[in-house]
Structure 1
């Protein structure tokens, strides 16, 4: 049997992505050496970004599988090492595109990432479950999606998306955890279970800023922010840090909830943000005989849409009505969003419809360089 070709082995290694950074390990300079013995045995030394990398077994398995398919390879041995501080600095510079370390990529004029800040006037309207399901649905449709759990006091996104481990830190860079194809970051990943976060406004602003600057998000199509209810510190910080973010208001059909939701949406006038639409959650309960029971009344979402259209002076559509659905609640409790675990359920169908509407939206040319120079 002919001895395996080194270039073919390197080509095979280029198909292996770091499971957290989602780029080839060869591009990230993680492959330190490849040794080929006379009998076709191949030893690959891979440098992990940090000692004790939680996904080292995944890297070992995928490297073994990729190299094992190369003609002439009789066996594969993967040796794991750890990057030096200098190598990690080079990696961080590469990931940040050689730019400044403390910048928000989504706030740059050339950013093509669509940023949706999901807001509500009051708590308990299902804003977080809507966020989790929209993110999972978009990712399932092939989009690169990130979620920031910006509800610092009432974080719930990690449990709703089934996140079971903490993010990996590469010095001062944080690699978000991946769940159902969605990159996720939350303060809940950094504090013990059920420990309250007791912070004032400046601390909240700093936490959000770190989620935007210190986390390596990569090239996202969509970034969703699950905001706390109301128009407090975080909502103001989002407007300052992400002026191009578009607001999405979640309400229930109940009149009292709709009134409060209007205030959250009307904030867009003061912050000069675009209001993309309204989602009415818990719209009705579908009964076995096909009838509907409007548990929380009717018309709240449409009322918010009409009144915000009048206030903003631009169309604010009602993007969808999400029925009360046990599968949505069960999916949120189990960490398996209903759009994935029960895609044909009434709630999941409505949520997937909203996700497709948002996923089809494109950014305009405002603020982008057209690459033109004067003649």
Structure 2
């Protein structure tokens, strides 16, 4: 993975908060900004990147030599997922070490090109996969995805604490499903509560990167294999994702320039 400049983990403490949808749209938003981008689906038990990017079910990576493989190209992104190596209906009935081993193979045997950003779609929780990634890969930073719901925030806190324990900086928090927008009348309602993302941001001094609505079109777009950045590139949600991508770039730039600047003084002796 020496060809990759920045590796960004997109994580959540629990499932069902829209983490994979956020990952794929952030990656496409970053590509729309002119960067070369890849996505690694690290969810060994429930891979979804292939479906979300419209990759046909029978797609297999192109082999390189005896042990390496090229990532699949979808909507201009380089993508790798365990879903490309197994049948769609095959469950991964594996213990933790086996799943970790599979992730290590995806990490070490994929021949990425020169990427500016690689987004890693993490599985829910704080277990083997998360530890494997933090130990084997130089992760530049992490983005935490949550909803305003109290139970989601509780698990998101655990995700933040996990990254702190392994010395990975949290670049910011994305609050998904912050407001439901009725597709008929446009009425908005905070069905999962309000202020959760802001509270989490203040508690951990991590910026709130975005608040995205619970909207039918976002779900329909990823189910159809054409995420929001492809289906409605100039829509309101696409613009939020692009603004979020710019904030991630800025956060990483500040991190890289965080070394102490020398103080130069001129005097006449």
TM-score (ref. length: structure 1): 0.64
Task: Give the 4+ runs in structure 1 shifted more than 3 A.
Answer: 287-291
Q: Distance in 2 between matches of 1:257 and 1:289?
A: 28
Residue 337 (structure 1) aligned with residue 227 (structure 2): yes
Alpha-carbon offset, residue 344 of structure 1:
3.4
Query: Among residues 156, 159, 173, which one is paired with 1:261 in the alignment?
Result: 156
Does structure 2 conserve the Cα–Cα contact (< 8 Å) formed by 1:252 and 1:282? yes
Does structure 1 conserve the Cα–Cα contact (< 8 Å) formed by 2:29 and 2:238? no
Q: Distance in 2 between matches of 1:292 and 1:366?
A: 40
Matches within 5 A, 1:22-101: none
2:53 alignment counterpart: 161
Larger RCO, structures 1/2 (Cα 8 Å, 6+ apart):
2
2:129 alignment counterpart: 234
Residue 281 (structure 1) aligned with residue 171 (structure 2): no
2:25 alignment counterpart: 133
1:32 alignment counterpart: none
Alpha-carbon offset, residue 343 of structure 1:
2.4
Instruction: Write the deviation string for residues 22-74 of structure 1: whole angstroms up to 9, x where unpaired.
Output: xxxxxxxxxxxxxxxxxxxxxxxxxxxxxxxxxxxxxxxxxxxxxxxxxxxxx
1:170–1:317 Cα change, 3 Å: same
Instruction: Write the deviation string for residues 295-316 of structure 1: whole angstroms up to 9, x where unpaired.
Output: 211111112212222xxxxxx1
Matches within 5 A, 1:1-375: 104-105=1-2, 113-164=5-56, 165-171=59-65, 172-287=67-182, 291-309=187-205, 316-360=206-250, 361-362=252-253, 364=256
Q: Distance in 2 between matches of 1:285 and 1:365?
A: 39
Unaligned stretches of 5+ residues in structure 1: 1-103, 310-315, 368-375
Instruction: Write the deviation string for residues 235-292 of structure 1: whole angstroms up to 9, x where unpaired.
Output: 1111101243311110001111111111111112211111111000011022465542
Instruction: Write the deviation string for residues 104-125 of structure 1: whole angstroms up to 9, x where unpaired.
Output: 426xxxx6x1111111011000
Larger radius of gyration: 1
Instruction: Write the deviation string for residues 156-214 of structure 1: whole angstroms up to 9, x where unpaired.
Output: 01100111221101221100000011000000111111211112222222222222221
1:347–1:365 Cα change, 3 Å: closer
Does structure 1 conserve the Cα–Cα contact (< 8 Å) formed by 2:149 and 2:196? yes
Alpha-carbon offset, residue 224 of structure 1:
0.5
